[in-house]
Amino acid sequence: MRVKDFMSTQVVSAPVGTPVNVAYELMRDGGFRHLPVLNNKGKLVGIISERDLRGVGAFFKDAESGVDEFLVTEPTTVENIMVREPITVTPDTTVSAAVKIIRDKRIGALIVMQGEEMVGILSYLDVLDAAEREQEEPTPLYRDPNDTQPLSKRDLRNLREQLASELTEFRASTPNPTVSKVDVRARQARIAEQEARRRAREKERAEATQEIMNDIRSQLNDDD
């Protein structure tokens, strides 16, 4: 099994200079967790993840719309928080080799390069999807002779469980000294924003009421 068989080929990227809030919106709207960063010549220079964004802001769900949002507490652009020189593989890299890199380097995704061109991205979710499909499909009649460590159905089942376990452990153990401060700022900002909206609505109602009262007084004066 090769990376090209399971990688995502519709890769969204962000150019250097993209504000972090725009990067978050690209990731949220696209439903992915990793965003490659390209320079002004279209060359890969880095990658950012949700974990990188947590260092400059906080995630929250808007109380009114229910939409996931990102509050930027330290305005900056993607090149200032990205992981430089990200690890890459080729389309012909075996899945077993890619999985080993993901596990050993404790990363969530690998960028797939064909020469200097970015042609895809392989995340742990892609591997887990492969594991699900493999369980539903019949055993192949042949093995890739160049894959010295082909993954069996049993290997993939174990991988699915292990990756899920490692991901949970990794998130729980990843130090993030700014997160508590950021969460407090996020809550304070949301409260302040909600209070400002409440006051604006009250002001609008008061102005509308006053306008109605003025109209009534004007009509009474005209009648007199």
Q: Is the pTM for the entire model greater than 0.75?
A: no
20 contacts 81 by C-beta, under 8 angstroms? yes
* Helix ranges, the chain (H): 20-30, 50-54, 95-105, 124-136, 153-173, 179-223
Sign of CA dihedral 114, 111, 125, 93: positive
One-letter amino acid at 112 equals V
Above 70 in pLDDT, residue 208? yes
- The two three-digit tokens of residue 82, written as one number: 């990205």
Residue the block writes with tokens 């003025």? 214
Q: Cα(75)–Cα(211) distance, rounded to whole angstroms?
A: 42
Spatial separation of the C-alpha atoms in residues 15 and 85, rounded to whole Å: 15
Q: How confident is the model at residue 113, as a pLDDT?
A: 94
pLDDT at 206 over 50: yes
Confidence bin at 162 (pLDDT 50/70/90) = low
Name the average pLDDT for the chain.
76
d(CA 136, CA 200): 56
Tens of pLDDT, residue by residue over 29-39, are 888 889 999 99
> Would the pLDDT of 116 be above 80?
yes
| Higher per-residue pLDDT: 105 or 145 | 105
CATH number assigned to the domain with residue range 3-176, chosen from the 4 options 3.10.580.10, 3.40.50.620, 1.10.10.10, 3.10.20.340: 3.10.580.10
Which residue in 93, 155, 94, 90 sits closest to 128, CA to CA?
Answer: 155
Both tokens assigned to 84: 């430089």
Closest C-alpha among 94, 105, 102 to residue 164: 102
Name the more confident of 157 and 50. 50
d(C-alpha 129, C-alpha 99), whole Å? 13
Residue-range domain boundaries for the chain = 3-176, 179-224
Helix pair 95-105, 124-136: axis angle to 10 deg: 140
